[in-house]
Structure 1
Amino acid sequence: MRARADALPLSGLRIIVTRPDLQAGTLCLLLEAQGAQAARLPLYAVEASGDDAATRATLDAHRDDAGWLFTSANAVRYAAEIDIADARWPPLYAIGAATAAALDAAGHPGAAVPEEPASSETLLALEGLQQIDGQRFLLITGENGRELIAPTLQARGATVDTLTLYRRRPVEHEPERIESELAIADAIVITSGQTLDRLWALTPEPMRPLLRALQLIVPSARIREQALALGFADPLLPEAVSDEAIVRCLCQWQAQRKPDSDMTTPDPIAIGTKMVREPGAAGDAADPSRSATRDSPPPPPAVAAPSRSSGIVAWLLVVVLAGALGYGGWLLWDLRQNQGALLQAQDHALRRLMRMTSELENQGSQTATRQSDLARVMQRASSDLAALQGRIDNSEQLMGRITEELQGGRTRFALASVEQLLLLASDRLLLQQDVRSALLALQIADQRLGTMNDPRLFRVREAIARERAALQALPRPDLTSASLTLSSLIDRAATLPLRARIEPRVFGGGLRGGNSAAQDTATVDTAWYQRIGDAIRTALANLFVVRRDDKAGNLRLLPPEDEAVIVHVLILKLESARVALLRGETASLRESLGSAADWLRRFFRNGDPGVEASLAEIERLQSLELSAPAPDLSESLTLLRQAIESAPP
């Protein structure tokens, strides 16, 4: 039995399988069939995610798609479990042979599968995924996968929806178990980049050199590069992503390393046998009782026959002696077995230690070589950096020349038009205070420079941006409100009271009938001489009569035509202020408004509410700033002319 077990390709190897428990069974059985000892160390557990009803609705909504893309066998399994049995599936695409086999087992054969090695890149290289503009696809995958398939298909013009059916949940392990597994292992099977990262994170820092010394089996070239970056010597890459390919790869690796590892070592079982036999090699000398019996003189003859009780005691002694001999033999057999196992473990550890020492030496030499290479690269990089700095200084000028050569004379024509726009903006602002037209001219000039895409003109565009910001920051008074206010003042000018008019007053005792009350109050008891005096005074008062005309209006001190002239002069001053407002002349506006206010105070009645309100409106309009200091727009024009002069002919 021992010889047949040693003849298997992977006998004596302990291989760690990091797959989830539900997926590691087949690979472990294949490894054990080849003589290896498969140790399960799952780093992730796969579990379903999402709602079954929502998933089924998503699958129903995409049955007429151009195709479904599966990124793993887990995606196939969960989709088949949730979907209705015998449901119609569109054309299928599998990322690898294992995924295609899972589709066949689920009753959906004929999936398009790329050639090995399986990866997102090889899947995207399939012929059916090239001319897909306007088509619709469903990507069925797990959480936290690579973000490559969907963006690539979308870049080709397709519509891609993603359906996530499962997640990977990290499985926790004690550091002691990780250390114990790594201490007795020979190789590790890694199935994804996440698994490699998690194994590296779970391994304590002192044990990482031991981890690097183990043989790694990875599923793709991308993960192999990831392992090399972590310091692993030479990860194995099977020809396909399948359990059988992994086992074949390990068998080939073991066959190549057997001539180096088959050293002449003593047989632990033979050593154990010898160690067990040596204590009894002296024969009877090892039994002191037997030796003493042979060397001692014969006992004296018995005087009398032994009694019956002495015979029973002798038989009991024989039985006890036989039991002691049997127990001692069992102890010797157990000791032999333990020594054999211990020697075998020591031999295995010794061989692993020698292999680790050799690999560490190789790694040390590789590290020294890499360090020297890195020093040379850094020295070369520093010199290249100095040369590159000079090239960067001339790159803008060179790019400008290339652009000029490609575009020909169109560049100069475009620059000339931009120059005219900048001149127009400056003229509009300085001569006519037209901020809006100047902003429009600068905006068009910047757009034309943007279409040229010339690095030499970036500074010109920066100057234009600063000038536009300065123009936008200028104060913009509400001219419409000010114009309406002046129109209202002009309309009310004719209704304002003049100082040359006097309001009617009520005159007193000189009027006729002014003493009627006294007459009414006179009584018949007044003395006769008093009545005669009253009659004389009444007769004298009637010689000069002042009558009151209640229908008369204000008393005019000026003729009507002079009053009309005063009102028309006020209106003309207000019209002059409105013209200055529309022309944007702040000084003229303030002068006209000041003249109108003086005219109001001079010829119109002070204290009248209408006059006071008009004066308040005029004072408010005088504070308007129609023409703020114009910003300088010459910087962009100067830089543009410099660029035109430096341009090649």
Structure 2
Amino acid sequence: MQPGVLIVRAPEHADALAKAVRKGLHGRQCHITTQSMVDTQALALPEGASVDWQATYHGIVVVSPAAVSYFDAHIQQHQQDWPQTNYYCVGAGTAEAMVPLSGQPATYPAPLHTAEALLELSALKNIEAQRWMVITGREGRTLIADTLRSRGAQVEVLEVYERVVREIDLRGPFSSWSEQVNIVVFTSQQHIELFTTAIERLDGGSDWLQTITWLVSSQRLQDCLLHYGIRKQQIVLATNASTPALTRSLLELINRSHAPALTKQTVNTDKSHDDSQPTTKSDTPVAVEQDTPQKAAHSDAIPTPKRSAFGLFISIVLLLCVVTLGVGGYYAWAQQEAFRQQTQAELSELNQRIADADRAQQSIRSDVVDRMDEQLQRRFNELQQQRQQEAQALREQAAAEREQMREEFEQHNAELTALKQQVDSANLRVSEDLFLVEARDLVLAAGRKLWLDHDRKTAIQLLERAENLLAAAEQNRLLPIRQQLRDDIELIASIEEQDIESLSMRVSTQRRQIRQLPFVNQTIGFDEGDDQATSSEFSEWRANLAKAWANFTDDFVRIQRTDELPSMKIGQEQRALLVSQIELQLQIAQQALMQRQTINYREALEQAAEWIESYFDTERQAVQRSLAELRELSGYDLDPAYPTRLLSEAMLRDVVEEMLEGDNR
């Protein structure tokens, strides 16, 4: 029967796997069909879930590609960005779906893409008192969250989608599956349970389940099939649930389905040919044995002695013929048996070679997959470390500066390569002179690292490397340059720098405290005049009436001079807007702080302090402390007092130019 494959997965993953298998068949015929037992739909995020997690979680675990897509949809809906943190995925498919959307690296286990393998990573071992989030679907496995909690972490589970079982009548598809499908692929335990339960209800379904081959992606799915009564010989375990791993396993199963049929046909043909030859030769002795008794009986019936002697002679001749034919037949049978055994041995040897070739090919594929997974894991780890080392608030200006620095490095590398070629073509007498060129480039790179990125540590390392290169040259004329390099290193190391992270934490503290500051109670006041008191005596009613009239006319229209305009009261909406504006100014100050932009940093803090002083109750100690803290923060100078140039750079440039001029002469 022509091999047929049924892929029971989500539609998007099943179609991708089917396409990859058809491509790997290179035009060979194979019936491939797909079927999904469940659908997925989005869940609304709980209240408070769309907040800024940038400095909240130590790590986020995403369990499936569906979790990635639905979580990204919620992020786009709430106009948020992916949290800046460490991401971990169960498999490569989830990581491939998440990295383009989040713009951040992800870590996943290799080669096993399972939750158990993920929990064995060293980064998920020592997590006590850390805060983690698990993005998953409703009613999914709780192994990851439970294990992280058992290790002392505070875990929040965010369910972004749910699985809905399809109402499907499989009687129609099963009639074609039972005739065309002999391999079924599963990557989900829920699909296995729904599929086997539905097929067992159909006529002949249980028998068909015992005849097909099951390809699964993990040991957990294999145990599930064993629980449903599937024999272990029917189950094939893929390396993981990724499309390349499943494609490799499927192609091997399809190739095995083709190979046994051809081998069996060849063996049957040879066997029938071997059996036909001794049958033809064995007929002759039998015929002789049947004729000999008749002739002997006929000769015994003749009474004359001559006929008896002649009959005896004939019997002896016939007996000799029978013996000759028997010996010849035995010899022919022995030769045929030897030929059959030789053919069988050659066939066994050929099958052994084919098996050895298959094992060697499988070993090579396994080694290639292991190396690729190892390289991918190493690459993701490197990207993760690089991402963690970068500043979180770098904007377009910092990116442009880094790009410019890279271009300059490439230009200097090109100049260094051209210079080396010139040195090689000119056959320099002293190879140690190359150290001068490399030392000069290192000093140039140290200066750019210091002035563009304010990276004092890297600049000192580059200068130390340049000094070590000159020391390796062992030339006395380079001693002044080496001494100047040490002086430059000591100068840079002695420069004091502001603690940017500490200042950033203080600004963040002020941002959080803004909403707790009390507003000033603003009222419009006027000077109160002296009211004319009325008497309680009835006899003074005329005087009381005159005083009442005078008081009424005085307050009816009142004009009073004041030196300052009274402040207008602000409502709740204006207060909320004012608090948001102050928080925005503090955020701008924090971004300018990370980019060492002193002017923008001070202007933002001064503006925030001015608004606080104008609209908040400055008599309260909390407001006074906030104003004092903001004024103190605005007094810091973010620009370090680095030297404008390095003297060792000029000395090295002069020495290199003298060396090149001498070579040109």
TM range (shorter): 0.3 to 0.5
- TM-score, length of structure 1 as denominator length: 0.37
TM-score by length of 2: 0.36
